[in-house]
Copies of this chain bind each other. A is one copy, B any other.
Amino acid sequence: MAKLNDNFRQMESYNTFNTVSEKINDYKKIYPSVELLDLGVGDVTRPIIKSVIKSMENAVEELSKEETFKGYGAPHGYSFLKEAIIKHEYKMFSQDEIYISSGTKTDITNILELFARDSKICVFNPMYPIYNEVCKLNGLNIHVEDASEEHNFVPQIPHKKYDIIYLCSPCNPTGVALSKEQLTNFVNYAKEYNAIILYDNVYENFITSNNVPKSIYEIEDAKYVAIEFRSFSKRISFSGVRCSYYVIPNTLQLDKLKGNINELWKKRVILKFNGADYIAQKGAASSYTQDAKKEISENISYYLTNAKMLKEALEELNFIVYGGVDSPYLWVKTKNNLSSWQYFYFLLEELNIIVIPGVIFGSGGENYIRISALGNKKTISKSIKKLRAYYAKKED
């Protein structure tokens, strides 16, 4: 008799983003005419830049003609895209070490299959909840380490030995980015214990601080211990189009493996995946031209200016604010010791502003909320005005 995977039952208690959407939808049902200002959205809102659109249009046209039609591509990605990525981002790697895919959320959890099932896996609290939840769903050996307020939300080097460590920098939700020194400490830890770092680097385009590495591979010897994940979602507004990539260095140190890790992983990819969309790959490849880079930098500036406006306004109102410098996210302490959910409801009901309760990213996120600067400028200005009006009145 077919039986359900018992781990699925745990999911009933999962506090995912969907829980937040449900609460908002409940509110909308009761007050359908209230205009809500969405600072919760963890998704880009700028349209896809012109040069990428042009390249996608050409790709669609190719698919319409017998002579230029493309069916299945290589499951690990087209060479033209890998070549562009290597030239502009990863000069030290070969095509063999790069994988093109359809989304980091899938990539960074699929990669667990590469490792022994009893691997000791470390995640931090607070952090992007998906790593933890997928590990639990797969019945893996997961442990939570500290990245709490006490440490300014910087993940702390664990005192225990782990096999695999999830790191996200710049971090979703806190917006905190690891400095060169902090990241070096993690690489050294991994070298010492032969651990592998799964480095979620999808917000790298937002990094502005000089001492924050844009890639973990800027750290010496990281190529022995880290798998880095990146995406086109934020870079070129591809969250609806789907294109991501990751690097498995040939030099990665895994026991018993003698340099054939990419050969093995490639076989796994061939077994389970038929490649990313051709149109997406064409679009992504065109994002490295000078024109595209200029357009991308304008979009990133747009979001970072939003973040700056929000940060300045909130600090003026005496909020404690993390992030917003190397990240589109601001991580903001509630007032009057309100819980994340209490403050979420207050903002929703009193000011009609949507944010994400920090506690859904782990208990270490309690008393915090995540505010996103990825919305449009108008929404952000209106929200600032409302916050100012409310807190000015209170302080009178």
In the complex where A115-B5, A241-B279 touch, is A53 in contact with B60 (Cβ < 8 A)? yes
Tell me which residues across on chain B come within 8 A of A146, comparing CB atoms.
none
Q: Mark A110-126, 1 if CB is under 8 A from B, else 0.
A: 10011111010000000
For the complex, what is the distance from the CA of A277 to the CA of B283, rounded to whole Å?
A: 13
- If A8-B264, A113-B5, A195-B2 touch, whether A239 touches B270 (CB-CB below 8 Å) is no
Q: Are A5 and B267 in contact (CB under 8 A)?
A: no
A57 vs B45: C-alpha distance when bound (angstroms): 20
A1 part of interface (Cβ distance < 8 Å): yes
Q: Which residue among A16, A60, A106, A256 has the maximum number of chain B CB atoms within 10 Å of its CB?
A: A60
Known: A2-B164, A193-B1. A242 touches B274 (CB 8 A): yes
Q: Is A334 an interface residue (CB 8 A)?
A: no
Query: Do B255 and A116 touch (CB < 8 A)?
Result: no
* Distance A4 CA – B133 CA, assembled complex (angstroms): 22
- The answer to whether A47 touches B60 (Cβ under 8 A) is no
A22 within 8 A of B: no
Are B47 and A64 closer than 8 Å at their CB atoms?
yes
Pairwise interchain contact B113-A137, C-beta atoms closer than 8 A? yes
A119-163, CB < 8 A from B: 119, 130, 133-134, 137-139, 163
**A162 to B, closest residue via Cβ:** B2
Binds B, one of A65-73, A169-177, A181-189: A65-73
Residue A240 CB within 8 A of the other chain: yes
Q: Which residues of B contact A271 (CB under 8 A)?
A: 11, 14, 16, 105, 109, 130, 133-134, 137
A2 touches which of B57, B60, B255, B279 (Cβ 8 Å): B255
A213 part of interface (Cβ distance < 8 Å):
no
Contacts of A113 in B (CB 8 A): 5, 137-138
Question: Interface range on chain A: under 10, 10 to 19, 20 to 34, or 35 or more?
Answer: 35 or more
Query: Min CB distance, A102 to chain B, in Å?
Result: 6
Residues of B within 8 A of A276 (CB): 242
Q: Are A64 and B71 in contact (CB under 8 A)?
A: no
Q: Is the CB of B272 within 8 A of A105?
A: yes
Docked complex Cα distance between A268 and B130 (Å): 10
Say yes or no: is A293 at the interface (Cβ < 8 Å to chain B).
no
Does residue A351 face the partner (Cβ distance < 8 Å to B)? no
The answer to the question of A285 belonging to the interface, with a C-beta cut-off of 8 Å to chain B, is: no
A24 within 8 A of B: no
Report, nearest first, the 9 A-B pairs whose CB atoms are least far apart.
Answer: A1-B194, A43-B71, A3-B116, A240-B278, A71-B239, A70-B240, A47-B69, A2-B163, A53-B64
Can you give 9 A-B contacts (C-beta < 8 A)?
A: A1-B193, A46-B66, A60-B279, A102-B102, A103-B273, A109-B271, A110-B272, A113-B137, A240-B277
Binding site for B on A (CB under 8 A): 1-6, 8-9, 11-12, 14, 16, 18, 43-48, 50, 53, 56-57, 60-61, 63-66, 69-73, 102-103, 105-106, 109-110, 113-117, 119, 130, 133-134, 137-139, 163-164, 193-196, 237, 239-242, 253-257, 261, 264, 267-268, 270-280, 376
Instruction: Name 19 extra pairs, CB < 8 A, besides A9-B264, A240-B278.
Output: A2-B115, A2-B253, A3-B115, A3-B119, A3-B256, A5-B115, A8-B267, A12-B264, A46-B66, A47-B65, A47-B69, A63-B240, A73-B240, A103-B274, A134-B271, A239-B274, A241-B278, A242-B277, A277-B280
